[in-house]
């Protein structure tokens, strides 16, 4: 994992992130969430998969003045929310786009679940990085990237335990949520995909994230 310069070391361009961006992204996510509830394949799975959006979106709106998020993070969170919403509507094992990818490449399973877990590491990596850069002494530290990766892997493990709890309490009704598609190593693959996603995010987006942070209002950056 590469270590990038602290946002304080990056030249700060004039101006700020467009104020309209978070509002537009929030509106798109809210509209998609409401639309996905209509005709959802499994209402229980839809609720369990999208509850993160139902909690995260209002929280981001409530904290928008006290802790505004960078433009890059807003975009990534919106993309992740849409991935969760699509997976909740169809269930991860039956997303049509995943079926087409499976058929094109001759795969044994619908890969949308794997993509979802890549996103589970890719997006939270920037979220955790932003929280640590802005609220801890780790800004500019060589420990920043490794600790972000560890946090994302821990989050993935907690998510797998929540799925395990749902399977124990829900029995066969939890099959759509688990989306194991017959793979006994599905839990391990899910966590590995999250780790790959987090690593790629840190390698390829850290410098872009630093530039995005410089566009925040000065009081929010420091």
Q: Is 18 exposed, middle or buried (0-12, 13-18, 19+ CB in 10 A)?
A: exposed
CB 205 within 8 A of CB 129: no
Cβ partners under 8 Å of residue 75, min gap 6: 21, 25
Between 62 and 9, residue with greater pLDDT? 62
CB 91 within 8 A of CB 48: no
Cβ partners under 8 Å of residue 20, min gap 6: none
In degrees and rounded to multiples of 5, residue 110 shows phi and psi of -70, 120
CB 149 within 8 A of CB 125: yes
**pLDDT above 60 (res 83):** yes
pLDDT at residue 18 in the model: 58
**Model confidence pLDDT, tens digit, residues 111-120:** 999 999 999 9
Q: How many CB atoms lie within 10 A of CB 8?
A: 14
* Nearest alpha-carbon partner for 92 in 183, 215, 211: 183
Average pLDDT, the chain: 87
**Model confidence pLDDT, tens digit, residues 164-219:** 887 777 665 555 565 556 677 888 999 999 999 999 999 999 999 999 999 987 54
**Six token digits for residue 113:** 């679940």
* Nearest alpha-carbon partner for 13 in 195, 205, 218: 218
**Model confidence pLDDT, tens digit, residues 4-20:** 545 444 444 444 445 78
142: confidence class by pLDDT, cuts 50, 70, 90: very high
Cα–Cα distance between 43 and 38 in angstroms, integer?
9
């Amino acid at each position: 994992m590469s270590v990038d310069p602290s946002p304080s070391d990056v030249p700060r361009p004039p101006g700020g992130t467009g104020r309209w961006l978070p509002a537009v992204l929030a509106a798109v996510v809210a509209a998609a969430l409401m639309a996905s509830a209509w005709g959802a394949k499994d209402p229980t799975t839809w609720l369990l998969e999208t509850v993160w959006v139902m909690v995260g979106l209002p929280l981001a709106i409530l904290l928008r003045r006290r802790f505004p998020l960078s433009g890059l993070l807003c975009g990534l969170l919106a993309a992740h929310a849409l991935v969760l919403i699509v997976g909740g509507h169809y269930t991860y094992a039956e997303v049509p786009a995943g079926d087409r990818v499976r058929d094109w490449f001759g795969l044994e399973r619908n890969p949308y679940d794997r993509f979802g877990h890549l996103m589970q590491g890719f997006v939270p990596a920037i979220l955790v990085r932003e929280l640590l850069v802005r609220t801890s002494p780790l800004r500019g530290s060589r420990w920043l990237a490794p600790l972000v990766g560890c946090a994302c892997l821990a989050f993935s493990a907690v998510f797998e335990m929540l799925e395990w709890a749902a399977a124990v309490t829900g029995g066969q009704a939890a099959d759509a949520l688990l989306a194991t598609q017959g793979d006994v190593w599905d839990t391990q693959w899910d966590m590995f995909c999250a780790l790959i996603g987090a690593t790629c995010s840190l390698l390829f987006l850290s410098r872009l994230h630093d530039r995005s942070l410089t566009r925040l209002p000065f009081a929010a950056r420091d």
